[in-house]
Amino acid sequence: MDDTKDTARILIVDDDLDLGSVLDALLRQAGFSTCLVTSGEAALEAVEQHGFDAILSDVRMPGMDGLELLKRLTGHKPSLPVVLLTAHGTVPLAVEAMKCGAADYLQKPFDRNEIIFVMRKVLAAGEQAGATSPPLPTGGLLGDSIAMMEVRALIARASRAVATVMIRGESGTGKELVARALHESSARRDGPLVKIHCAALPETLLESELFGYEKGAFTGAVTTKAGRVELADGGTLFLDEVGDIPLPMQVKLLRLIQERQFERLGGRQTLHINVRFIVATHRPLEEMMARGEFREDLFYRLNVVPLCLPPLRDRGGDIAQLVRHFCTVHGKLNGRVSTTMDDDAIAVLERQLWPGNVRQLENFVERLVVLADTPHIGFDQVRAELDRQPLTVPPPSDNNRPINLGEQQRQSERVALTTALRQTGNNRTEAARLLGISRRTLYTKLAEHELL
C-alpha cells in the first residue's frame, strides 16, 4: 500500500472535537492532508466547496449521522470512498454501512496503524478500480439493440435462481451495473450487496478483506472484524476482476463456494454463510487455465451462468439513447439541468468506435457538458473535442468471442479513414494522399463506412 499518494486529502467528520483532533493529528503525521468538521451538514458543505479523496466519519452524531451522510454522498459523489468509525461495531451495523456504500468501517477503540492502513487501502483500491471516474449510472443498461435485449432477458432469468453468475466483457461495458441489476431483481434484494475489487488488493490483504480476522491475528488487528463474505450473508457477494485472484487464494475461494463455510484469519471457529456469488472479469480465463494461472475446477464453479456483455461498437444503435441519458445525468450533477445535444453532434459520436465502451462515452459526454458555453452541445463542439483528444484504437476482441478477420480489418480501416480526415481537416484530397489511395477509392470507402 506504500505506493498510495500520502498527499491525498481526507475529510474527518466527528462531533467529538477532541477525538477528531486526535484523528486529524494521526493522519497528518502519516503524511495526509486533512480537514476536520464536526457535523454531517458541515461535511456536505465541505465536499461541495473542496475536493477530497476520502472521508473518515463517525457514525453516532447529532443531526445527520454517519449513515445518513454516507447515503447522501453515495447519491451525489459515488466515487468518493467513505470509511465509518463507530464504537458500536456490530455485524448488523457493518452490513448496513456496506449496503449504503461504505468503503470500509473501523471500530473504537481504534489502533493508529489500523487507521492509517485502512485509509491507504481504500485510497489505493479507489485508484486501481478507477474511482476518479464515476461508476456507470443505470444508463449502461439502456438500449434497444438486440445485444442489450438479450442481456436484459438473461438477467431476468438468472435473477430468479441462486446459481453463480460470471459476467464477462471488456472494461467499461457495465459489469458492475449488471451485478447490481441481478441482485436487485432477485429474492435477495433486501439483503446486502457486498462487492470487493480483487485486483486492487495484494493476496494477504485480499484474504483478510474476504474472510475477516480475529483480534491479534496480525499486527494492528486490535479487534475482531467481519470480512466481506460474512457481511454478505443473506445477500450477494460480487467479486470484481476475479481473474486477478492469486492461485493460493483461488483454493480458499473454491472451498468457500463449494462448502459455504470459512474461518476468519487467525480464528478456529468455522462459520457458515448463505451467499449468492456473482463474479466479473475481462481476463481470458481459458488462456490462463492453459498456462496454469487459473484453476480449472474454480472456473467451472464460477462459470455456471455465463453472461457476456457486448462492447459498445457492437451496439451502435444505442449510442444516441446513452448520450441523451448522460447529458441529463451530468447536466444535473454539474448544475446544467437543461443540457442537450444536437442530432448532428450525436451522429458524430455514433461513428466512433469507443474502445473504452460505455464508460469512455460517458466521460466524453460529461466533459462536453462541463466545457459547454451554452445548454446546447453542437456538431462543432463535439468535433473540436474529438480533434483535441482523439479516441484510441479499440482493444482486441474479447477472448470469449471468435476473432473475425473481416471485422478486425473493417474496424482498422474505419480508424484509418477517420484519423486521416481528422488530420487533414476533412480535406478529402489530402486524406486520400495521406492514405495512399485515389479520391474515387476514398469516396467508396467513406460510403461503405457511412462517413460521407
- The cell for 446 is 467513406
CA distance 48 to 11: 12
Question: Is 1 inside a domain boundary?
Answer: no
Which of 308, 327, 358 delimits the end of a domain? 308
Question: Is 135 inside a domain boundary?
Answer: no
Question: Is 3 inside a domain boundary?
Answer: no
Q: Are residues 285 and 148 in the same domain?
A: yes
To the nearest 10 degrees (0 to 180), the angle between helices 379-388 and 343-350 is: 30
Q: Are residues 359 and 420 in the same domain?
A: no
pLDDT at 396: 44
State the CATH number of the domain containing residue 345: 1.10.8.60
37, 68, 108, 109 from 19: Cα distances, Å = 12, 21, 11, 11
Instruction: Tell me the β-bridge partners of 86.
Output: 107
Please state the φ and ψ torsions of residue 71, each to the nearest 5 degrees. -60, -40
State the CATH number of the domain containing residue 78: 3.40.50.2300
In the chain, which stretches have pLDDT less than 50?
A: 1-6, 129-138, 393-403
Within 10 angstroms of residue 327's Cβ, the number of other Cβ atoms is 23
State the CATH number of the domain containing residue 280: 3.40.50.300
Which of 277, 308, 339 delimits the end of a domain? 308
Q: Are residues 268 and 184 in the same domain?
A: yes
CA distance 54 to 249: 28
**Residue 203 half-sphere exposure toward CB, CA atoms < 13 A:** 9
Q: Are residues 271 and 258 in the same domain?
A: yes
- The cell for 412 is 482498422
CA distance 265 to 209: 10
Within 10 angstroms of residue 63's Cβ, the number of other Cβ atoms is 11
**What domain range includes position 441?**
405-448
| 39 touches 63 (CB < 8 A) | yes
Q: Are residues 121 and 19 in the same domain?
A: yes
pLDDT at 324: 93
Q: Are residues 113 and 247 in the same domain?
A: no
Q: Are residues 171 and 62 in the same domain?
A: no
Q: Are residues 69 and 200 in the same domain?
A: no
Residue environment code for 389-422, b if the CB has 16+ CB neighbours within 10 A, otherwise e: eebeebeebbeebeeeeeeeeebeebbebbbbbe
DSSP structure string for 193-216: EEEEEGGGS-HHHHHHHHHEE-TT
Q: At 224, is the secondary structure helix, strand, or coil? A: coil
Question: Is 192 inside a domain boundary?
Answer: yes
13, 111, 118, 245, 251 from 414: Cα distances, Å = 52, 57, 47, 37, 45
Strands (E) in 59-138, as ranges, are 82-86, 104-107
Q: Are residues 170 and 244 in the same domain?
A: yes
Question: Is 399 inside a domain boundary?
Answer: no
List, for residues 388-431, the tens digit of each pLDDT value.
Answer: 876 654 444 444 444 455 566 676 777 777 777 766 767 777 77
Give the H or E element holding residue 256.
helix 247-259
Q: Are residues 266 and 147 in the same domain?
A: yes
Residue with cell string 480535406: 427
List, for residues 313-365, the tens digit of each pLDDT value.
Answer: 888 789 999 999 999 988 888 888 888 999 999 999 998 888 889 989 999 99
Amino acid (one-letter) located at 317:
G
CA distance 278 to 154: 14
CA distance 143 to 135: 18
Computed on alpha carbons and rounded to an integer, the radius of gyration of the chain in Å comes to 24
Which of 101, 128, 155 delimits the end of a domain? 128
Q: Are residues 195 and 254 in the same domain?
A: yes
Question: Is 4 inside a domain boundary?
Answer: no
101, 196, 394, 439, 451 from 323: Cα distances, Å = 27, 29, 20, 33, 20
- The cell for 58 is 463517525
pLDDT at 6: 47
Amino acid (one-letter) located at 382:
V
Q: Are residues 177 and 236 in the same domain?
A: yes
- The cell for 60 is 453516532
CA distance 181 to 401: 24
- The cell for 311 is 462492447
What is the distance, to the nearest Å, from the Cα of residue 414 to the centroid of all Cα atoms in its chain? 30
- The cell for 357 is 465502451
Peptide linkage before 109 cis (omega within 30 of 0): yes
pLDDT at 343: 92
| 265 touches 217 (CB < 8 A) | yes
Question: Is 29 inside a domain boundary?
Answer: yes
173, 316, 328, 340, 370 from 312: Cα distances, Å = 7, 6, 20, 21, 23
CA distance 102 to 94: 9
Please give the tally of structural domains in the chain.
Answer: 4
Question: Is 186 inside a domain boundary?
Answer: yes
CA distance 291 to 8: 39
CA distance 424 to 431: 6
- The cell for 432 is 486520400
